[in-house]
Chains A and B, each alone.
Chain A
């Protein structure tokens, strides 16, 4: 078992106390809203379409059972009984009262959690592979490095007022499940000549100007990680644009100035910065590597698992879709999808959170992860325990066998909650999921990533969906653009717009035509939608989306 609790609990408590005083001053009129807004945002408090929203950091998606129980307590006590997993491995509460948030932050601090840097132009939550430390295709656990970056970036004085927000992702697996190419900085752990280091990507991002990152360093030795990252961000801090919010992300800086120019500045700054690192970072890394040591895996028979698979079709189906290969024989990672057909993607009730905490303790080496696709992962479950885990999940409505399928949709909160949104996302996701369950095509369609965003800020990562859906306001009516061919994993690609947008009630019929065409076009059942799209190009898929009107 490991301890994910950050050590700086006193600092977190201090920040919570500070925020309590700030709220008091806001309520008694000593602070205006203009003065208060940046203070509340620094503590993850947004004002959304219907209410305040509190975004709580779940560093690299890793959370312990007692922290999960605290989230359940907050959901019941201060919200409407649920929380929402975000696409950045955080949780959001949609209905807290401002007057309650100081109490919520105090309680979070008691389990080492906080909402610091979940907003504002700062370095945000560092994200990683939800199967970190468990995946069969992983060559190095990225979490110690993610923790090093988290502790270094938290309250980093130089980087509290960057030109724009800044997101770092890291992976140590063969398959990139952290979407490094879509982040301001992406890190891929590598071995070279017996040394550990990183392939460093810079300038990726989605939003209104989607761009895939570029490799700025083929190999950065691990001991230089913080100095180099600091060099990149300090270069951006000076040269990033502050005149235009929409051109302020590092992707624009790199794009406008050119990678070579930017890289030359970074390398020069790196040479300076490197002199200031005297080994404390390496000592911290050694501590973090111990903290994330593998749990004591057990070596037991898996006969019961195989027998249960043979006897129970529903269980077999769930194990076919919702398990991820583990690096240790006899183990699997369990994907608990929060995508039951017709449910809101990523919403978890307090009871469901408590169940996950219990299951993690009983069967999962006390480890839980929030994935960027708004699901929860039990990374280490022995296969002999899977029938019991499945039975418990099934009772709680959490055993839907749909991980990676049509209904496993990423959707931002959209205009049902978000004040920036231009259209709704959630009901589109609900209707697509229900539609393909009702018509029985979901299993036949197989692996498919649908991603929905309710505005061009792209929190739903629509650019990376095999099918992306972007909700817009067209002359006062909700309208949805469809993009095709995006991919965040195997071959990172930004989806291409298929054509004119669809009104709300035409989105599901359009997706239906598209997927029926795919079933006709694919070479065989093993060819995924994205593979067929790459082989055939967009034309036959566009033809399905925009059929020629029948001639009279």
Chain B
């Protein structure tokens, strides 16, 4: 589904993959890859996105299975439009594991400042 997605200004997208060594989900950002989807680069142009995806594919020593998927512009950064991506950005619903723990850690860090 997502690999055939073509981003436009009206329907932008992000590039996501899994970290090769650790396995967790990552998103392409300005300076590489991030585990925080809110920091992901939002692509609105097909040609730029294709080029970035080629770059991601070339980084197979860092990430596995990169693909382009629809996202929307949110107040704190890109947000998922499909529930599958929402689960990837959050973690499983039966335990507080996965990406949601990173977000929690960030909030705790911010409140300690």
Chain A residues with CB under 8 Å of chain B are: 26-29, 32-33, 47, 49-52, 80, 95-99, 344, 347, 415-417, 424, 426-427, 430, 473, 476-478
The answer to whether B83 touches A476, judged by C-beta atoms less than 8 angstroms apart, is yes
Please name the residue on chain A nearest to B99 by beta carbon.
A50
Please classify the interface of chain B as helix (H, G, I), strand (E, B), loop, or mixed, using the class held by over half of its residues: loop
Asked if A33 meets B94 with Cβ closer than 8 Å, knowing A47-B18, A97-B21, A98-B23, the reply is no
Please name the residue on chain A nearest to B88 by beta carbon.
A49
Q: Which residues of B contact A47 (CB under 8 A)?
A: 18, 23, 64-65
Q: Does B5 contact A (CB under 8 A)?
A: no
Beyond the given pairs A51-B23, A416-B92, 9 more chain A to chain B contacts, judged by CB atoms under 8 angstroms and listed by A's residue number, are A27-B21, A29-B61, A47-B64, A98-B20, A344-B94, A424-B93, A426-B92, A476-B81, A477-B83
Alpha-carbon gap, A32 to B98, bound state (A): 26
Alpha-carbon gap, A29 to B94, bound state (A): 36
Alpha-carbon gap, A477 to B22, bound state (A): 30
Asked if A33 meets B64 with Cβ closer than 8 Å, knowing A47-B23, A98-B22, the reply is yes
Alpha-carbon gap, A51 to B99, bound state (A): 10
User: For this complex, into which size category does the number of interface residues on chain B fall?
Assistant: 20 to 34
Alpha-carbon gap, A97 to B23, bound state (A): 6
Q: Which residues of B contact A97 (CB under 8 A)?
A: 21-23
Pick the residue among A51, A98, A344, A416 that contacts B87 (CB under 8 A). Answer: A416
The answer to whether B23 touches A415, judged by C-beta atoms less than 8 angstroms apart, is no
Q: Which residues of B contact A417 (CB under 8 A)?
A: 92
Cβ contacts A to B, 8 pairs, < 8 Å: A33-B65, A47-B23, A49-B87, A50-B98, A51-B98, A52-B23, A344-B94, A344-B95
Q: Which residues of B contact A415 (CB under 8 A)?
A: 83-84, 87
Alpha-carbon gap, A52 to B21, bound state (A): 9
Pick the residue among B24, B60, B82 that contacts A50 (CB under 8 A). Answer: B24
Alpha-carbon gap, A16 to B93, bound state (A): 33
Asked if A32 meets B87 with Cβ closer than 8 Å, knowing A80-B95, A426-B94, the reply is no
Q: Which of B89-104 contact A (CB under 8 A)?
A: 91-95, 97-99
Pick the residue among A32, A96, A427 that contacts B93 (CB under 8 A). Answer: A427
Q: Which residues of A contact B95 (CB under 8 A)?
A: 80, 344
Top 10 A-B residue pairs of the complex, sorted by shortest distance between their CB atoms:
A416-B92, A52-B23, A51-B23, A50-B98, A344-B94, A29-B61, A426-B94, A97-B22, A99-B21, A427-B93
| Interface hub of A32, A50, A426, A427 (most chain B Cβ within 10 A) | A50
